[in-house]
Amino acid sequence: MTRVLRWGGRVLALAAISYAVVFLWVFWVSRQDQREQADAIVVLGAAQYNGRPSPVLKARLDHALELYRGGLAPMVVVTGGIGPGDRMSEATVGHKYLRAQIPDSAIIVRPDGRTTEESMRSVAEWMREREVGRVLLVSDPFHMARLRLEARYARLEAFVSPTRTSPILAGSRIEAGYLALEALKLPVTAIRNMFGQPSPEPVVVSH
């Protein structure tokens, strides 16, 4: 019995250390801003209210606008499907918001994804058709580590640029909760990707 308890304690200690390492990684990535030249700026969807972006989604779209106006990419890809009870997709709302400020021809709408994984696969499919694959990812800071992992698994050359104007404030208790949750999701995502069906290779990656 003593031996069982001892091994149980070691397993718990190892799990706690592993979780702490992942949490620190998620936090570290959340504080990066890799403003690199890319083929497209990709905005991850968030809640919308009857056709209007939520404060979280608006912050992401505004950040994408800043990057686009800075000449970092010629296109902005908006993502996000239709949530329960909604009549309009998050991507469509993002498009509606952006087209009042930048040319409509510079906006790509990919509404066929309700998860980070689905959105990245949709974006990757669109980019492979155009023989490009370098993306600048926009979302909230806490989301960046898992988002980049999903994008790279989809065979995209991914860089992150998180918004700093989200109502989920950096250093707040709310952000800490999201970071803690992401530290649980990240290993699950890595394991799923490790044993899942690999995404096809891109035809060409432009630089």
The residue-averaged pLDDT of 18-35 equals 96
The model's pLDDT over 157-191, given as tens digits with 9 standing for 90+, comes to 999 999 999 999 999 999 999 999 999 999 999 98
Ranges assigned E (strand) in 50-198: 52-53, 76-79, 107-110, 134-138, 157-160
pLDDT at 206 over 80: no
Determine, yes or no, domain membership for 24.
Answer: yes
Query: CATH number, domain at 138?
Result: 3.40.50.620
> Over 70: is that where the pLDDT of 202 sits?
no
d(CA 161, CA 42): 10
* Structural domain includes residue 65: yes
Amino acid residing at 39: D
Residue 201 domain flag: no
Q: Is residue 200 part of a domain?
A: no
Give the whole-angstrom CA distance, residue 101 versus residue 65: 8
What is the share, in percent, of the chain residues with pLDDT greater than 90? 78
Q: What angle do CA 72, 116, 63 make, to 5 degrees?
A: 30
Beta strands in the chain (DSSP E): 40-43, 48-49, 52-53, 76-79, 107-110, 134-138, 157-160
203 assigned to some structural domain: no
Mean pLDDT of 129-144: 96
Please, which residues bridge with residue 49 across strands? 52
In whole angstroms, give the CA distance from residue 190 to residue 99: 36
Mean pLDDT for the chain overall: 90
In total, how many domains does the chain have?
A: 1
- For residue 42, tell me if it sits in a domain: yes
Residue 199: pLDDT above 50? no
Decide which of 198 and 132 is more confident: 132
- What is the model's pTM? 0.88
72 lies in a domain? yes
- Start-to-end CA distance of the chain, whole Å, equals 60
Query: What residues make up the domain containing 185?
Result: 7-195
Give the per-residue pLDDT at 195: 80
Looking at the domain assignment, is residue 68 inside a domain? yes
**pLDDT category, 13, cuts 50, 70, 90?**
confident
Q: 121 phi and psi, to 5 degrees?
A: -65, -40
State the pLDDT at residue 87: 87
CA distance 185 to 137: 19
Give CA–CA dist 52/65, Å, rounded.
Answer: 17
Quote the pLDDT of residue 153.
Answer: 93
CA pair distance 171, 72, nearest whole angstrom: 28
* 109-120 average pLDDT score: 92
pLDDT score, position 8: 66
Residue 67: is its pLDDT beyond 90? yes
Mean pLDDT of 69-98: 93
pLDDT band at 59 (very low <50, low <70, confident <90, very high): very high
Q: pLDDT band at 86, cuts 50/70/90?
A: confident
